Amino acid sequence: MTPPKQTYTYDIRNSLSKNLFRGFWRMMTGFRHYYFIAVLMLAGSALMNTSSFLLVRHFVDNILPTGDVARLAPFVGLGFVLLAGGQGLFSFLSGRFASKTAEGLALRLRDAMYDHIQRLSFTYHDNMQTGELLSRATSDLDAIRRFFSEQAIGVGRILLLFTINFIAIAFLNIQLALISIIVVPFIAGLSFFFFGRISRLYEHLQEQEAKVATTLQENLSGVRVVKAFNRQDYERVKFDKEIFEHYRRGRGFLVMHALFWPLSDVLVFGQIIGGYFVGATLVINGTLSIGSYLAYVSLLGQLINPMRNLGRLIVDMSTGVVSYKRMMEVIGQEQESLVDGSHKPDGDLHGDIVFKDVSFQYNADTPVLYDVDFSVKAGQSVALLGSTGSGKTSVVSLIPRFYDYTSGSITIDGIELRDIPRGYLRGQVGVVEQEPFLFSRTIRDNITFSVSREVSEEEVIAAAKAAAVHDVIMTFPDGYNTLVGERGVTLSGGQKQRVVLARALLKNPRILILDDATSSVDSETEDEIRQALLRLMKGRTSFIIAHRIQTVMHADLILVFDKGRIVQRGNHNQLMREEGIYRQIFDLQSRIDEEVEKEATDVLGLPV
């Protein structure tokens, strides 16, 4: 079945409101009529119910005394059956529409939440923990679903039952009706008193739930590290601490509930007994008929029970309200626009890139790039070299606008980067990230992930060959259909890197960014990849980050970074003539190579 249209056409950000009622009301857009039908059906059901009590009264007061019971009883019986049947039917219909409202809303909310989360900025995701987002998208969302399926319908139901039964009792005796609702303000007061307390406790509970989710998620992602360092016990103690806190808060929350119930029950039962007593007195005085009293006893239950439930609802609503706030905190975050920027070039980019005095910082206090200044012509290659943490990844993440630079200017084909829409730009850039990530799908799905169009088998194979991974894939029993990751064959680090490279190459981007893309690949394979890349990189601008001189020496421009600044620039020959980091690294690496060679021949007697 395809999801209903309103799942996608409603922008969930419209539900943002400081006023909770307005927020919930807006959230119900497209589902309000179902909600009202549900409440209306409830009214039908309640009317049938109340009528059956009035029928009792009629039977006792008007039919029994006539002595004509034998003739009329079947009609009365039929009346009861019809009323009961009608009540059941209405109640079923009401449930049906209530679930349509609540589940429909939950479906839309889940969809919107997922879509929204993946459109938030890199910075937001850097700072937000996955477990925190997970708990909002699951547990909080469920509390909102319950709010609509139980509490919102419940409120309608209670108000209706209360009104209908109050009118019915007033019809029997107005004095009785007024006496029967003395307890109402007390229950309302008590509920509101507990509402505040319980919502605070629930908020604390949800915060802790997010912490537990984060700990669990991190522990599962890092399960190999935990096992490798034999830190299971340590992790367990850490997790125990979090779940014990969860237990403690959960217990506090339930204790508060447990306190509320007996208190409201005392009030309710006091009211019922008082009502019976006053009613009985009226019967003895002769003001009230026996039939009316019998009807009243049942109606009073119907009037007071909803009151009791109202207390529960108000208290339960606090969970929906807290969860609404927690979800709206995420929904309220600005999405990263993919269509911003006034200048969308026609067709593909050419690829002339100019950095001019670019500075950048991830957060307010620590700059990571200072005055980065270089230019590259379309089709040229730039290599970035430098110690760890010197800012290489940061420089290249500015190009697809993963982050926006703080000052200076970056232009592509003369257009300021900020003016180029992110969506278009990212379509032109292919990135191999420093930490390769593959989805638990087949190898083919992972390679074709980079493009949205249909891809032919030949294209996939060509990309895999260029990344020197085709032959490896063919050795797997399922070839390109091999499942990667959790459930399938797990690839080696180097294989993973090459699959990710194939993914970027398949996209055939104008600008190619390879961040340490061959770090886990042996020199021979790297050579193979380099040859393929040399062919592929013709005509496109490429950025290569690597630690090995051999990888970067063929680049048109080599930039050496240190502590966020460019300290050397030029091609291999130029840099070799200069004193500086580049030659130091070159000497060091050649010395290591020589030593390895020497040792291999001297000690092991192997020719290299």
Residues 370-399 that bind ligand UTP (CB under 6 A): 386, 388-394
Interacting partner of 341 out of ligand UTP, Mg ion, none (Cβ under 5 to 8 A depending on kind): none
Radius of gyration of the chain from its Cα atoms, rounded to whole angstroms = 36
Instruction: Name which of Mg ion, ligand UTP, none residue 191 binds, using a CB cut-off of 5 to 8 Å depending on partner kind.
Output: none
What is the signed CA dihedral for 154, 160, 164, 165, rounded to 10 degrees? 30
Residue 83 or 396 having the CB closest to ligand UTP? 396
CB of residue 560 vs Mg ion: minimum separation in angstroms?
14
C-alpha 315 chain-centroid distance: 26
SS3 assignment, position 538? coil
17/434 with CB nearer Mg ion: 434
Judge contact between 190 and 264, C-beta under 8 A.
yes
Beta-sheet pairing, 429-432 with 511-515: parallel
Containing H/E element for 408? Answer: strand 407-412
- Of ligand UTP, Mg ion, none, which one sits near residue 340, judging by CB under 5 to 8 A according to partner kind? none
Q: How far is the CB of 447 from Mg ion (least distance, A)?
A: 23
Q: Please name the residue that has the structure tokens 């989805």.
A: 439
Distances from the Cα of 110 to the Cαs of 205, 228, 488, 559, in angstroms?
22, 37, 28, 46
* Binding-site string for ligand UTP from residue 339 to residue 368, where x marks contact by CB under 6 A and - marks none: -----------------------x-----x
* Residue whose beta carbon is closest to Mg ion: 393
- The answer to whether residues 491 and 518 touch, using CB atoms and an 8 Å cutoff, is no
20-to-62, 226, 323 alpha-carbon distances in Å: 51, 44, 11
Q: Convert residues 459-498 into a mask of x (bound to ligand UTP by CB under 6 A) and - (unbound).
A: ----------------------------------------
Q: How far apart are CA 252 and CA 257, in angstroms?
A: 9
**Residue carrying structure tokens 């960014």:** 513
CB of 151 to Mg ion, least distance (A): 50
> CA 91 to CA 107: how far, in whole Å?
24
Select the binding partner of residue 448 from Mg ion, ligand UTP, none (C-beta < 5 to 8 A, by kind).
Answer: none
Residue 464 Cβ vs ligand UTP, minimum distance, rounded to whole Å: 26
Q: Does 214 bind ligand UTP (CB under 6 A)?
A: no
C-beta closer to ligand UTP: residue 164 or 560: 560
* Cβ proximity to ligand UTP, 24 vs 561, nearer residue: 561
With CB under 5 to 8 Å by kind, the binding choice for 394 among ligand UTP, Mg ion, none is ligand UTP
Beta bridge partners, 384, equal: 545, 559
Q: For ligand UTP, which is the closer residue by CB, 222 or 389?
A: 389
**Whose CA is closest to 469, among 525, 389, 402, 547?**
525
CA gap 467, 402 in Å, rounded? 25
Q: How near is the Cβ of 394 to ligand UTP at its closest, in Å?
A: 3
Site for ligand UTP in 106-165 (CB under 6 A): 126
Which spans of this chain sit near Mg ion (rule: CB under 5 A)?
393, 434
Cβ proximity to ligand UTP: between 161 and 429 the closer is 429
Q: Are 352 and 539 in contact (CB under 8 A)?
A: no
By a kind-dependent CB cut-off of 5 to 8 A, residue 390 interacts, out of ligand UTP, Mg ion, none, with: ligand UTP
Least distance to ligand UTP from the beta carbon of 544, Å? Answer: 13
Count the site residues for ligand UTP by CB under 6 A.
12
C-beta of residue 394 within 8 angstroms of C-beta of residue 368: yes
Write out the residues near ligand UTP by the rule CB under 6 A: 126, 362, 368, 386, 388-394, 434
